Structure 1
């Protein structure tokens, strides 16, 4: 699976861009705030329909324009796909696959399976539960359209139920309808819990070996899925906490409050681990994600790495670079020293300056 080409028009700081990608390692280098990350963001958006930087569509459109366009050509198991995305200031985005418009994001997910890795991902362990739920959701939505459907229905139900909890305060007769939303919430929530549990079970078998190699076998990492409610008592829990929910006017139980726990020697490293332990665990988690996706789709995912090497020591750099040798990699960085020092092969090299990308064919001076 590879991205063959990418075209941007009026996207972020790119008025116009067209690049052809190698099936190996593609590096976009340049100073900060020149537009390197915008390239990765456009690929992520065209693959998932969402920006990993949580921006509104209108914020992705270059200033002074009303629309932006992304065109991405992908080859998967020898089959070509063309993804077109139109972003509009005052309307929903338009998406087409092979020039045929689609109306559901579920039709886009899975064409290009991507794994993204940025310095922020090193905070997967120490930050709050929301970032770990997002990690599960982003990957599962790419791998499992049933999960995507259930998650979408659950979130819609959750929003409606929260609105009802607020409205009951002013119109008590609405209490009679709350049980209907309880049934819907548990219906979709139980399916989410089941799939997440299986996902973490599969991930934990992979992460042990990767973490063992990263740390030289000094420590053993365990990963645990902490469901907010059990599959057996979800509905009963909603009944039990109803008074608290009515008082706080928000749903207090369900998979929207799940978390993942990371343990070394049975100690929660989010609370008791060192910064080094947390970073090693986060790196192991992302590398495990690559291996899990590979096993699931029987193909290599596309890797997006946003200035990650500069955040890692030489040992972790070497380990990560070895992983990259089998995949298509699209990497941003400010300098090339880490790649030169590790004698890492670069297939395509692009210099980014203020929204302009120049392909570098003669690397003799740059790589000295």
Structure 2
């Protein structure tokens, strides 16, 4: 699988871009804040419908876009066919700037109907839902934040699982969206119950919905972690010179027994919700469920979050990301597109060399860096190189 063409219009600092692509390694280099990460963000959005870089979708729309719309368009070559993906992001209320700022922004806002979508998708020119876009193209992202997978917060580790599973399992993406809505509704209800504005019995229906959806999410996360463990330890051993053994442990907030089948597990989860109900009402939040799951990384039996050195933590994170890559390839039969966003500057020479050896064999790799020093000369020579400057690309070839 590879992206053969990428077209951007008013996306971040790219007013207009038409970039032919193909198989192989693409190196995008240049100073900071020139648009290197924005390129990878655009590719990722075509695959996942979300940004790994923005806190709000409206951030990706160029400030000077006259219509306040960003457009992403790409053609993907897959094993079985070719497919065109398109994403439109609307910012109906663009930021305002003082005249002295020098930024030329149209003050006209867009009147959208109530509840009109801010993002719209097309697959082969036909309007589609979010769920129909996700997974049509598959990507694995390596960013500096991914090197903090082990020592970062639980939300980073949940995102690590969700980003891969949403691409390989469409039903997982549907379950996750529905689950998050139920958690929001249930938390609001818990607060009203705490204020004696609602009957606690009203939780029963939401508990039923939450546990059914949680059951699907937990099942897929357990399967993915099992698959990761089949690969991650091999990478850990290779990077550490055989000195370290890695085990990834899934820590769901619900108590889960291996003997529970898919049909019986929800009942056990509902019982645990009932046990926690009084505490949940007092705090006004959902205390159990996949939104509170975590992962634990053990190297030679030692918890890396609490006791790992910086080098061990980064090796475990790198091994886990490479295992994610293998998991997605095995799950779909397609090699995902690799996006490496300035990650090599965060690695020492040995880890950088190992990662390069692993990714060089993949069908398409997009890599950003501030400079090309430190990369093997033969790799640089056979790559497609572009200098990025203020949202414009200049080929080095």
Residue 93 of structure 1 corresponds to: 119
Q: Secondary structure at the match of 1:320?
A: helix
Q: 1 CA distance for matches of 2:378 and 2:347?
A: 13
Q: Secondary structure at the match of 1:338?
A: coil
Residue 45 of structure 1 corresponds to: 45
Q: 2 CA distance for matches of 1:69 and 1:173?
A: 45
Residue 341 of structure 2 corresponds to: 306
Count of equivalent residues? 360
Residue 365 of structure 1 corresponds to: none
Tell whether 2:356 aligns with 1:331: no
Work out whether residues 26 and 346 of structure 1, in 8 Å CA contact, stay in contact via their aligned partners in 2.
no
Work out whether residues 22 and 348 of structure 1, in 8 Å CA contact, stay in contact via their aligned partners in 2.
no
Residue 142 of structure 2 corresponds to: 117
Q: 2 CA distance for matches of 1:39 and 1:202?
A: 30
Question: Once the two structures are superposed, what CA deviation does each residue of 1:23-73 show, in whole Å capped at 9, x if it has no partner?
Answer: 000111000000100000011111110000133222111113211111111
> Which of 153, 169, 190 matches 2:178?
153
Question: Once the two structures are superposed, what CA deviation does each residue of 1:302-352 show, in whole Å capped at 9, x if it has no partner?
Answer: 000001111111111111111122211011101111223574554311110
Provide structure 2 residue ranges, at least 5 long, that are not aligned to the other structure: 93-116, 257-264
Work out whether residues 122 and 279 of structure 1, in 8 Å CA contact, stay in contact via their aligned partners in 2.
yes
Tell whether 2:384 aligns with 1:348: yes
**What's the TM-score, normalizing by structure 2?**
0.88
**What's the TM-score, normalizing by structure 1?**
0.95
Question: Once the two structures are superposed, what CA deviation does each residue of 1:154-182 show, in whole Å capped at 9, x if it has no partner?
Answer: 11111110111112234444322111111
Q: Residue 288 and residue 342 in structure 1: after superposition, are their counterparts in 2 closer, same or farther (change >3 A)?
A: farther
Q: 2 CA distance for matches of 1:73 and 1:116?
A: 19
Q: 1 CA distance for matches of 2:338 and 2:300?
A: 31
Work out whether residues 192 and 198 of structure 2, in 8 Å CA contact, stay in contact via their aligned partners in 1.
no
Work out whether residues 58 and 87 of structure 1, in 8 Å CA contact, stay in contact via their aligned partners in 2.
yes
Tell whether 2:383 aligns with 1:357: no
Q: Output aligned runs, 1:1-368, within 5 Å.
A: 1-65=1-65, 66-90=68-92, 91-103=117-129, 105-231=130-256, 232=265, 233-327=268-362, 328-340=364-376, 343-361=379-397
Q: 2 CA distance for matches of 1:102 and 1:280?
A: 40
Question: Once the two structures are superposed, what CA deviation does each residue of 1:250-282 show, in whole Å capped at 9, x if it has no partner?
Answer: 000111111110012221011001000000000
Work out whether residues 224 and 327 of structure 2, in 8 Å CA contact, stay in contact via their aligned partners in 1.
no
Deviates further, 68-77 or 309-318: 309-318
Q: 2 CA distance for matches of 1:291 and 1:194?
A: 20
Work out whether residues 58 and 88 of structure 1, in 8 Å CA contact, stay in contact via their aligned partners in 2.
yes
Provide structure 1 residue ranges, at least 5 long, that are not aligned to the other structure: 362-368
Q: 1 CA distance for matches of 2:358 and 2:237?
A: 15
Q: 2 CA distance for matches of 1:291 and 1:308?
A: 19
State the 1:94 CA deviation. Answer: 1.0
Work out whether residues 22 and 347 of structure 1, in 8 Å CA contact, stay in contact via their aligned partners in 2.
no
Work out whether residues 45 and 51 of structure 1, in 8 Å CA contact, stay in contact via their aligned partners in 2.
yes
Work out whether residues 300 and 326 of structure 1, in 8 Å CA contact, stay in contact via their aligned partners in 2.
no
Q: 2 CA distance for matches of 1:7 and 1:250?
A: 43
Q: Secondary structure at the match of 1:168?
A: helix
